[in-house]
Amino acid sequence: MYKRQIFNGPGKTLNELENAIKLDIHCINVDSFYELKLLDSIAERLKTKVKVSLRIVPEIISPILRTGISTSKFGFEKNEIIKAYRLALNLKGIEIKGIHAHFGSQISDINTWINGSKALVNIANKIYDELGLELEHVNIGGGLPVDYTKNLVTTHYEIPEYFKPDFNEDDVAKVIAESFKDLNFASSLYIEPGRRIIADSGILLTRIVNFKERSFNEKWLIVDAGFNVLLSSRVLQWYYPILNISKISEKHDTAFRIGGPLCDAHDVYHDLEGEEKKKPKLPKHRFLPKSSSPGDLLAMLHVGAYGPEIMMNFNGMLKPPIVMISKDSNVKIIRRGDRIEDLVMYEEF
C-alpha cells in the first residue's frame, strides 16, 4: 500500500519523515536544501537510502492558488534546480526518482497546462543535459478544473466564467502529451487530480435561518453553514452552485446575498474583497425563488472535495453529519454530527 505513496508538503516533521522512510514509500517530494540534507542525515542514521523527487516552482502562474511561483512557499526556484539535483546526486543517502511541480487549483486556462508541462519538460531536459540524470518520473501535480456546467440541474444558476473551462481532461492530457514528446529520455508521467474526481460527489444541505432586506433593496439570506463547514468558500473561493430544494420547482430568478452564521463579515458566499477591488471571483448574488425564506433547505453543489476534512468548530459551531448515498440508494451516516459535549471533549481542567 505504501509503495504507491508520495509524501509532499513544505513542512514535514522529523518524525513524519522518519516514518515515511521506514515505510519505504514511493518517494518523498523534497521542498528545500535544508530538507534534502536532513533526509540524507536520517538515511545515514537508519542505514538506508531515501527515494526523493524535488519539488520545483517553474514560475507558472495560475489564477487560483499560486503554488508554482517563487513568491509561494513551495519548492526550489528555477535557478536552484541544477544545484539541488547536483547536491542530491552527491549525497549518499539520497536516491533521485523524479521531479514535481503543482501549478494551482481549478486551472481553467489551458495555457497554464501548456506552459506548465513545457516548463517541466524543459527543466527535466536541462537536468539530463547538465547532469546526465534520467528522471524516472515527472510529476505535474493536480489542479484539473471541476466543470460546473456538466450535469446541470435544470434550475438556473449563474456560473462565473472562470468556473466554465472550455476544455476537458482529454484536452489536458493531449497538451501534456504534446509537451512530453520533447522529453529527451523515457520517463513516467504522474498527475495528481483531486477535486476533478471527487467534487461533484458531495452536496451540502443547509437551512435558511434568517432573512433581511437592506434599505437599498438588497435581500439577504443567512444559512446555518458558513466557513466553519465550507472553509474552501472563504479561503480558496471555490464556487458552489446553490439551489433551494424546498422550492425546487419554483423559478430561481431573484437575487440574494447569501451569508453564513459566523461573526465574521467574510462568512459569505461571494467575494467581498474582490468586489471592493472590482474584480470579484464569485458572483455577487445567487438566484433563488423569490419566496425563499427561513426554514427552506438549500443545496450547495460540488462540495465533495476537501470539505469534510477542513470543517471546524469555529465560533462553537457543531460539525454536521455526513451521509453517504450509495449507487443502489443505500443511505448511511458515515460521520455522526457533533454533539455539544464534543466541543470540550479534548479540554482538560
Ligand X SMILES: Cc1ncc(COP(=O)(O)O)c(C=O)c1O
Grid cell in block for residue 105: 487549483
Phi-psi category of residue 176: left, alpha or beta, with phi > 0 → left and psi -120 to 50 → alpha: alpha
* Residue closer to ligand X, measured from CB, 8 or 233: 8
* Residue closer to ligand X, measured from CB, 143 or 241: 143
- Cβ atoms within 10 Å of 7's Cβ, excluding its own: 20
* Residue closer to ligand X, measured from CB, 8 or 228: 8
Are the C-beta atoms of residues 134 and 187 closer than 8 Å to each other?
A: yes
CA-to-CA separations, 219 to 27, 133, 211, 246, 262, in angstroms, rounded: 52, 62, 7, 19, 18
SS3 260: coil
Instruction: Scan for cell 476534512, then name that residue.
Output: 309
Are the C-beta atoms of residues 343 and 330 closer than 8 Å to each other?
A: no
* Residue closer to ligand X, measured from CB, 142 or 320: 142
Q: Mark 116-138 as b/e (b = at least 16 C-beta within 10 Å).
A: bbbbbbebbeebbeeeebebbbb
* Residue closer to ligand X, measured from CB, 106 or 155: 106
Distance in Å, CB of 6 to ligand X, minimum = 9
Distance in Å, CB of 220 to ligand X, minimum = 31
Are the C-beta atoms of residues 83 and 126 closer than 8 Å to each other?
A: no
* Residue closer to ligand X, measured from CB, 142 or 261: 142
Type and span of the H or E element at 73? none
Distance in Å, CB of 109 to ligand X, minimum = 14
Distance in Å, CB of 210 to ligand X, minimum = 33
Rounded to 5°, angle at Cα 16 from 14 and 18:
70
Distance in Å, CB of 27 to ligand X, minimum = 13
Distance in Å, CB of 306 to ligand X, minimum = 7
Distance in Å, CB of 330 to ligand X, minimum = 27
Residue nearest to ligand X (CB): 194
Binding residues (CB under 6 A) for ligand X: these are: 8, 102, 105, 141-144, 192-196, 305
* Residue closer to ligand X, measured from CB, 105 or 244: 105
